[in-house]
Structure 1
Amino acid sequence: MKKRPSIYSRPDKPLFTATHRRERFASVGAAQMAEPVVVDKTTECHVTPGDVAARMVGYLGPVGDYLTCEPSAGTGQLVRALLASGHSRNELTMIERHRTLALALEKLGTCINRCFLEYAEEAKGKIEFPRIIMNPPFRDVRKHIAAALSLLGRGGHGEPATLVALVPITFEHPEAETLETLPNDTFATAKVNTKIIRIRR
């Protein structure tokens, strides 16, 4: 049997080529690298693309003094979109159960390092959020939406309390309106059909 050539060898070509006039690059500084986002697969964290996050924030309604909750804050994409649109970090509450992600989120505002389902059970009847924005774990999406709705309330405001969520396309709720159906390549790490919904009360 004829031996296949190694894919790593280049027998007829030089391994090195000369470069000239290296001084022209001397003035170029070190490239500024963005801090990598490392997500443990056990978090079920699908990072919301920036453009999708911005549209979700727009669906919440006008900026105001609304207490706003992000129940599964992950890497903070939705919170960054909230802050970029003018929402005050003083009105934001982030919940994130993964300790490393929660620590990183502290620079954006108040982050509670808890399972959201446990937090909601304890907070029910004690606090109302007029605005909730979320990209919940898809496996337990119904539980997370139900927990979020248990905290959704006007909190003294005249406008309807509003929840905006990114959910699997199969998710249904009698109060939900579908605002967008997203392509299945929305997430870099998963092929899944999703949509953006809104619930107002």
Structure 2
Amino acid sequence: MKRAVYVRANKPMRIPIKHRDGFDKLEPIQVVEPVIVDKFTECHVTPDDVASRMVAYLGPTGDFLTLEPSAGTGQLSKALLASGHSRHELTQVERHTKLASGLHRFGPVINRCFLKWAAEVKGRVEYPRIIMNPPFSQVRKHVAAALTLLGRGGHEASAVLVALVPITFVHSDAETLEILSADTFATAKVNTKIIRITKPN
């Protein structure tokens, strides 16, 4: 077949293509893996802003051994590291195996029930800094166990415990720092507050 069949009069077969430069490179898409928490763990994930304020309530950073008794997804641990606390002075305790496996990036993890572990190490270790968001159904037991481990640990500064607890929690030495909004936790219909307990010199 003749080539002329495919040619319109005075119309070339080829169409020029303009090259366009200057497009910005697309940033790679980062998919954040969702944190899925079994409801039976009683793990209520602390929001970033609340975790940051809780860390600030502990006081200035230093070479303080710091305990996170119910580390969960690591929100408080992450806030500690972001504020300058050392991962080498952080002890995280989490009984739920799957949650515990995700905490190693923040520091050492003890995969145990905190109440049992605290009873075993009582009198053998002191933590000048304790930060916690304990299971609400056992909050009194968990705070009491944490207080048995709170101590100056050779430091001159007072030992400090900061905890996120239900608003109904009462302790004679607790100072209420904040009353949190009712929608702080999407999975728990519990009114909460941040408290601080200081063990003096």
**C-alpha separation in 2, matches of 1:129 and 1:122:** 15
Aligned Cα root-mean-square deviation (Å): 1.3
**C-alpha separation in 2, matches of 1:29 and 1:166:** 38
Partner of 2:175: 177
Tell me the TM-score normalized by structure 1: 0.85
Aligned length: 176
Tell me the TM-score normalized by structure 2: 0.85
Partner of 1:137: 135
Partner of 1:43: 41
1:19-30 map, 5 Å:
28=26
- Per-residue CA deviations over 1:161-186 (Å, capped at 9, x if unaligned) read 00000000000000000000001100
**C-alpha separation in 1, matches of 2:28 and 2:84:** 33
Q: CA deviation at 1:45?
A: 0.3
Partner of 1:122: 120
Report percent identity of matched pairs.
70
**C-alpha separation in 2, matches of 1:132 and 1:91:** 12
For 1:177, what is the secondary structure of its paired residue? strand
Q: 2:148 aligns with which of 150, 166, 184?
A: 150
1:97-108 map, 5 Å:
97-108=95-106
**C-alpha separation in 2, matches of 1:30 and 1:199:** 45
Structure 1: runs of 5 or more not aligned: 1-26
**C-alpha separation in 1, matches of 2:26 and 2:84:** 36
Name the amino acid aligned to 2:43: C
Structure 2: runs of 5 or more not aligned: 1-24
- Per-residue CA deviations over 1:58-88 (Å, capped at 9, x if unaligned) read 0000000000000000000000000000000
Larger Rg belongs to: 2
**C-alpha separation in 2, matches of 1:79 and 1:28:** 33
Q: 2:55 aligns with which of 54, 57, 60?
A: 57
For 1:172, what is the secondary structure of its paired residue? coil
Partner of 1:85: 83
Partner of 1:195: 193
**C-alpha separation in 2, matches of 1:30 and 1:54:** 28
- Per-residue CA deviations over 1:141-195 (Å, capped at 9, x if unaligned) read 0000000000000001111100000000000000000000001100122221000
Name the amino acid aligned to 1:131: R
Q: CA deviation at 1:42?
A: 1.1
Runs of 4+ in 1 over 3 A off after TM superposition: 27-30
- Per-residue CA deviations over 1:82-127 (Å, capped at 9, x if unaligned) read 0000000000000000000101101111000000000100010000
**C-alpha separation in 1, matches of 2:85 and 2:32:** 24
